[in-house]
Chains A and B, each alone.
Chain A
Amino acid sequence: MRCENFEKQIVLWPELNADERGELEKHLGSCASCKTYFESTALTRDKIHEVGGIKPMLADPNRMTTDIMKRIVTGNKQILVIHSQTLQLARYALAAVSVFFVFFLGIELLPFAEQPQEQTQVVSRSIVLDKGKFKEALRKSRSSNLRSMKECVGPFNLNKVDEACLREKLAWSKVF
């Protein structure tokens, strides 16, 4: 392996496993420039670790704890407030939905709302069932009306029908 291939291993020395370390140490034994690079890298790494050992300290740990606990308590209260607001909204929503259903179902169930439907059904049923009778009745009615009209034609003008006579005839035909 050439020197540039060992550069990454030198930088990642702490992360190498035993075999990789052995291979690198073997190379360092025979390469002065890599050995110098390894040593300077190790010194920089040690310095960084030394700095890492200096922990940034909180200015006031007690205040931090108090602030965190305050936020937790306030957070819990806010959650409760949110819950109560949500419940209130849910109540209103449920009330609105119930009013909606009562209104529409009420209309559907009202007696006057049902009547036209029943009548329509009866009429449609009678039309379907009494089709022949209906045609017969219609034919009779037409011939009766025609007869009435003929009987009410004026004596002088054949195109003119006596209206009073016709009304009377039609009224009689409806009665019977």
Chain B
Amino acid sequence: MQSPAELELIRRSQEGDQQAFKKLVEMHQALAYAVAFRFTGIRSEAEDITQEAFVRVWKSLGKYREGIKLSTWLYKIIMNLCLDFQKSSRHKRDRMTVEVGSADRTEDEGKRQDDAEMVSVIIKLAKTLPEKQQMVFVLRDLEMLPVDEVCEVTGMNAGKVKSNLYYARMTIREGLTKYFGEFIKQLSR
């Protein structure tokens, strides 16, 4: 459930208080950007999607129901925007483009390059998945949402989520073995 402070901010935003909405943006923009980036793999696209998502939230705040978490709602909007992006010609052109170095600012500078490469490869592999599998993989394995929240965001039932997750994980595992054959072997030892 959401904190009373957040609910108060939402209520004030619904009444048109832009300052209250600004606080909500500050609270959730990192999450929104992260999921958009993990889906698109392109910084500028992720930023555009984040902006558009908040504009949509602002416009449809009147429809917001207290029972649903704002973050879940935001995830839903971002997923829809990401799917729209995937259908666009721009995405088809940039399909295999993933910006390396997106995961900068890690705490351990020594691991920075490895992590950046791993993030880049995983996002690139995720982009090759069918859209339902990609959604489920990003939300469950990268965003680490519980299964019921993934169901709520994607509109799928638990069975479908698990089934898509299984195929997604198999593809990702296979891809990682190709990219990091030695690495996986080392892990297996």
Contact = CB atoms under 8 A, between A and B. Distances in A.
- Residue among A11, A64, A68 with the most chain B CB within 10 A? A68
A71 B51 contact: yes
A52 B51 contact: no
A69 interface: yes
Residues of B contacting A: mostly: helix
Interface in B168-185: 169-170, 172-173, 176, 184
Contacts of A68: 25, 29, 50-51, 54-55
A57 B118 contact: no
Contacts of B147: 15
Interface of B: 18, 21-22, 25-26, 29-30, 33-34, 37-38, 43, 46-47, 50-51, 54-55, 58-59, 102-106, 115, 118-119, 122, 141-144, 147, 162, 165-166, 169-170, 172-173, 176, 184, 187-188
Contacts of A47: 118, 176, 187
Given A8-B166, A15-B147, A52 B142 contact: yes
A82 B67 CA distance: 33
B13 to A, nearest CB: 10
A15 B30 CA distance: 27
A157 B150 CA distance: 118
A75 B58 contact: yes
Contacts of B38: 56
Contacts of B166: 8, 11-12
Interface residues of A, number: 32
Contacts of A65: 22, 25-26, 29
Contacts of A128: none
A51 B118 contact: yes
Interface in A28-49: 36, 39-41, 43-45, 47-49
A6 to B, nearest CB: 13
Given A11-B170, A51-B122, A55-B30, A40 B187 contact: yes
